[in-house]
A and B are shown apart, each in its own frame.
Chain A
Amino acid sequence: MEVKQLAHLTAPENVYREVESIVGPEWISSRGIDRAAYSFDVWPVVAYQVHSGHVPYYPDLVVWPGTVEEISHILQIASRFGIPVVPYSGGSGCVGGIVPLHGGITLDVKRLDRILDLDRVSLTVTVEAGTLLQHLEDSLEREGFTLGHFPQSMRSAAVGGTVAHNGIGTFSTKYGKFDDMVLGMQVVLPDGEILEIKPAPKRSTGPNLNELFLGSEGTLGVVTRVTLKIHHAPESRAFQSFAVPDMRAGLDLCRRVAQHDLRPAVVRLYDEIEGKGLLFETLKIKDDLCLLLFIYEGFQDLIGHEAELGKNICLEGGAEDLGPGPARFWYEKKRFDVRHYLAKTEAPSRIADTLEIAGTWDQLADMYYAVRRAMDQYPCRSMGHTSHIYPQGGNLYMIFFADAGSEEWPDVERLYFQILDATFTACHKLGGVISHHHGIGMAKKDWMELDHGPAGMQLLSRIKNALDPKGIMNPGKLGLGE
Chain B
Amino acid sequence: MEDAKYAEGIMRCTRCPDMCACACPVFDVLKTQSVTPSNKAHAAQMLEEGLLDPQPEVVEILYQCNNCRLCAEWCIYDDLVLGDLLKEARKRIYLQAPGSLPDFVLNLRKRVIDSGTLHPVRPPDPADPVREKLRSFQSAEGEVLLFEGGYARAQTPEITLAALALLRRMGVKPAYLPAEEPGCGADAALLGFQDLALESGSETARFLNDSGFPIVVALSPQCAWQLTEGFSDLGINLDVEVLSLPAYLDSILQGRSADWKDMAGISIVLDDDAFLSRYLDQADLPYQILERIPGCHVLRTSPQGKLADPAVSYSPLPSPAAERGVRQRKAAQLTSAGAEIVVTTSPQGKRQLQDLLAGQPQVLDLAELLLSALP
B34 within 8 A of A: yes
A42 within 8 A of B: yes
Binds A, one of B7-15, B131-139, B347-355: B7-15
Given the complex of chains A and B, what is the CA–CA distance between A4 and B55 in angstroms? 10
Contact A346 B11 (CB under 8 A): yes
Q: Quick one: closest A residue to B319, CB to CB?
A: A26
Contact B16 A338 (CB under 8 A): yes
Contact A339 B61 (CB under 8 A): no
Within 8 A of A (CB), among B7-39: 11-12, 14-23, 31-34, 36, 39
Which one, A64, A142, A346, contacts B32 given CB within 8 A? A64
Which one, B46, B57, B76, contacts A31 given CB within 8 A? B57
Contact A130 B32 (CB under 8 A): no
Contact A130 B19 (CB under 8 A): no
Chain B residue contacts of A346, Cβ below 8 A: 11, 15
Chain A residue contacts of B265, Cβ below 8 A: none
Which one, A34, A64, A141, contacts B303 given CB within 8 A? A141
Known contacts A132-B21, A156-B21, A156-B22; is-contact A342 B32 (Cβ 8 Å): no
Q: Size band of the B side of the interface?
A: 35 or more
Contact A342 B16 (CB under 8 A): yes
A428 within 8 A of B: no
Q: Quick one: closest A residue to B301, CB to CB?
A: A142
Contact A138 B304 (CB under 8 A): yes
A73 within 8 A of B: no
Chain B residue contacts of A31, Cβ below 8 A: 57
Residue tally, chain A, CB below 8 Å to B: 45
Which one, B36, B43, B55, contacts A156 given CB within 8 A? B36
Chain B residue contacts of A47, Cβ below 8 A: 15
Contact B76 A339 (CB under 8 A): yes
Contact A108 B77 (CB under 8 A): no
In the complex, the number of residue pairs spanning A and B with C-beta atoms less than 8 Å apart equals: 96
Given the complex of chains A and B, what is the CA–CA distance between A156 and B140 in angstroms? 53
B3 within 8 A of A: no
B291 within 8 A of A: no
Contact A336 B19 (CB under 8 A): yes
State the Cβ distance, A146 to closest chain B Cβ, in Å. 12
A3 within 8 A of B: yes
Known contacts A7-B55, A342-B12, A346-B11; is-contact A108 B31 (Cβ 8 Å): yes
Known contacts A4-B52, A31-B57, A336-B76; is-contact A156 B19 (Cβ 8 Å): yes
Contact digits for A393-415, partner B, Cβ 8 Å, 1 yes 0 no: 00000000000000000000000
Contact A92 B51 (CB under 8 A): no
Contact digits for B303-340, partner A, Cβ 8 Å, 1 yes 0 no: 11000000000000000010000000000000000000
Counting chain A CB atoms within 10 Å of each CB, the highest count among B18, B77, B304, B321 belongs to B18
A91 within 8 A of B: yes
Chain A residue contacts of B34, Cβ below 8 A: 33-34, 37
Chain B residue contacts of A117, Cβ below 8 A: none
Given the complex of chains A and B, what is the CA–CA distance between A81 and B15 in angstroms? 36
Chain A residue contacts of B304, Cβ below 8 A: 138
- Name B residues whose Cβ lies closer than 8 Å to a Cβ of A: 11-12, 14-23, 31-34, 36, 39, 42-43, 45-46, 49, 51-53, 55, 57-58, 61, 74, 76-77, 302-304, 321
Question: What are 11 A-B pairs with beta-carbon distances under 8 A?
Answer: A2-B51, A7-B58, A34-B33, A53-B52, A88-B33, A138-B304, A153-B17, A154-B22, A155-B20, A155-B21, A339-B76
The 7 closest A-B pairs by CB, nearest first: A53-B51, A134-B22, A156-B18, A156-B21, A37-B33, A110-B31, A37-B34
